[in-house]
Structure 1
Amino acid sequence: MSAESPSTRDSYIENSVPAFRHREPFSQLLEDLQVKGWSVQDNFFSEDFTTELMIEAARIQTDYMLQAGVGRKQDHRVLLDVRRDHIQWIDPDDAAIRKDFLNAMEDLRVALNRRLFLGLFDYESHFARYDEGAFYDKHIDAFKGQGSRILSTILYLNEDWQDGDGGELVIYDELNPDIEIGRFLPKKGRLAVFLSECFYHEVKVAHRTRHSIAGWFRMNSTTGKSLDPDQ
């Protein structure tokens, strides 16, 4: 969506709020990914930066969001028995807090490539809204050797989320996807990152409106015969 859309805040000025709380915000995340392939970090961004993202997410009118589906481009299908969230893609040309978020994730992309040599080429992301009763069944973001998504990210934007509110992220074991290895409430400022081809995961039924930003670091799989699609 363009900068003139109803979801854009006029009061926020780009780069006016520091994105990170610490000088070295990526160290624990990088170590986790190197050791176990996934990481969940609380308060990843600064409090003010996360609050601005929460305000932005809440301002998006449902009429300006898409019913989420599965698959990409010509393979995209809406399957309400699989997932029921609504999304709005974040455009690199968006202004204000959206652009600052993408810039921060670009810093993370550089750090990931330097430390883990992943060859990450770009990052795509969208706001996601799960209304009461919405969910996303167990799935994997990329099948081995069949996609360009390398790392999945989810940033949660929900104030005072409680145990009875549902909407938990459940991550399953890499070697046995029937074994649950982590269940996490979508609390404000919590960031989950995991290898897209390795970890099945799901979103449990939400009992109140649930906001997040989902994204994927990708490698460039464009060849002379095939153009790597975005979104």
Structure 2
Amino acid sequence: MNIHLMLCCNMLTPPIFEHITQAIAQNGYCIIDNALPANTAQALHQHMSNIPAKDFKGMGVGRANELHVDQTYRSDTSLWLDGIHTAEQNYLQWMEQLRLAINQRLFLGLFTYEAHFAHYAPQSFYKRHTDAFQGLSNRKLTTVYYLNPNWATDDGGELAMYADEKSSNAFQTVAPQMNRLVVFLSESFPHEVLPAHKDRYSIAGWFKLGKH
């Protein structure tokens, strides 16, 4: 794939942000384990575990006036991060540092970040989709952060990533292991969430080009 991103090499960037920006510049995506400090990851997991199930709501599909809930297309439930809890604040602050590092080195013009907790009950899924339509969305960069300790291969729930709309086979299948982070260009990679065999949790987020 052709990705035209400029690298600025005179900025001091923490190693993990350096790794992420380099991978995005070269490949358009990055998969990194042990992404956040262990205490931050554990606090997020504990916080998420204490959220009542009733607070998670079904997510819609489509755009604007055509937005609707379609459980044949996606069956996850979600809760937006509001930044009130300390664990959420720390996560959002980490993402803000990543936003600044990416803008410094890749000049993407990322302006805001939004994110929600995502819960996939057993056998829940999200069929193949793209997070942004070419030229029609201000979502530029997608993040998926996993909160599933002791996740085994047989538990399923992988993120399947495709090189483009025409690809029939995934080029990456990512298990939702605890403290694993996936970052990718929102317009470039169709993807899907395969059914899991037990509860699967993550934080899905988007760096955007504007306020809305």
Both proteins in one fold, TM over 0.5: yes
User: Equivalents in 1 of 2:95, 2:63: separation in Å?
Assistant: 22
Which 4+ runs in 1 deviate beyond 4 A?
none
1:102 correspondence with 2:92:
yes
Q: What is aligned with 2:204?
A: 214
Instruction: Return closer, same or farther for 1:105/1:72 CA change in 2, 3 Å cut-off.
Output: farther
Paired residues of 2:142 and 2:205 also in contact (CA < 8 A):
yes
CA deviations 1:166-208 (Å, max 9, x no partner) are: 1001110137432311001100000000000010000000100
User: Equivalents in 1 of 2:113, 2:74: separation in Å?
Assistant: 22
1:119 correspondence with 2:109:
yes
Letter in 1 for 2:189: F
CA deviations 1:3-42 (Å, max 9, x no partner) are: xxxxxxxxxxxxxxxxxxx953211111110001011000
User: Equivalents in 1 of 2:79, 2:165: separation in Å?
Assistant: 33
Paired residues of 2:110 and 2:208 also in contact (CA < 8 A):
yes
Q: What is aligned with 1:202?
A: 192
1:140 correspondence with 2:93:
no
User: Which of 163, 179, 184 is the aligned partner of 2:153?
Assistant: 163
User: Equivalents in 2 of 1:176, 1:33: separation in Å?
Assistant: 21
Letter in 2 for 1:68: M
Paired positions, count: 200
What runs of 5+ residues in structure 2 fail to find an aligned partner? 1-12
1:173 correspondence with 2:163:
yes
Instruction: Calculate the aligned-residue CA RMSD, in Å.
Output: 1.5
Name the % identity.
38
1:87 correspondence with 2:78:
yes
Cα distance, 1:150 vs structure 2: 0.2
Letter in 2 for 1:40: I
1:54 correspondence with 2:45:
yes
Paired residues of 1:177 and 1:199 also in contact (CA < 8 A):
no
1:42-81 correspondence to structure 2 within 5 Å: 42-81=33-72
User: Equivalents in 2 of 1:177, 1:187: separation in Å?
Assistant: 25
Q: What is aligned with 1:152?
A: 142
Cα distance, 1:95 vs structure 2: 3.0
Q: Which moved more, 1:166-175 or 1:198-207?
A: 166-175
Cα distance, 1:64 vs structure 2: 0.9
Q: What is aligned with 1:189?
A: 179
Secondary structure of the residue aligned to 2:36 is coil
Paired residues of 1:177 and 1:200 also in contact (CA < 8 A):
no
Q: What is aligned with 2:4?
A: none
Cα distance, 1:72 vs structure 2: 4.8
